[in-house]
Amino acid sequence: MLKQTQTTKSENGKEKATSGKKPNLIAYDVRDVEGRDKSVWNTVGAVWLHKDGKGADVLLHAIPLTGRIVLRERSDKPDQS
């Protein structure tokens, strides 16, 4: 499960935590599986958008073998996949 916090290095080299800040997007590995009607969605990371709107921090816990990562808005309700 993803942590709801993120640690980044500030300009002065010190680590700063954005504790409690939930990610804006969730990163998924989406795969079609033979014999299944629906694709399988596995969470592989999260994305926090920068305040200035010019970039984002991406934290990946896994990298899909296919190289395909799908970014979706975070939802507080459980996934129905």
Residue 13 domain flag: no
- pLDDT tier for residue 1 given thresholds of 50, 70 and 90: very low
Residue 42 domain flag: yes
Residue 15 domain flag: no
pLDDT of residue 42: 95
Residue 60 domain flag: yes
* Mean pLDDT along residues 16-29: 81
Residue 18 domain flag: no
- pLDDT tier for residue 31 given thresholds of 50, 70 and 90: very high
Residue 35 domain flag: yes
**Confidence (pTM):** 0.67
Where in the sequence is the domain holding 35, given as residue range(s)? Answer: 23-73
Residue 5 domain flag: no
SS3 helix, strand, coil % of the chain, rounded to 5? 0, 40, 60
- Please give the Cα distance from 79 to 55 (Å, whole number): 27
Average pLDDT, the chain: 82
Residue 54 domain flag: yes
Domain count, the chain: 1
pLDDT of residue 66: 87
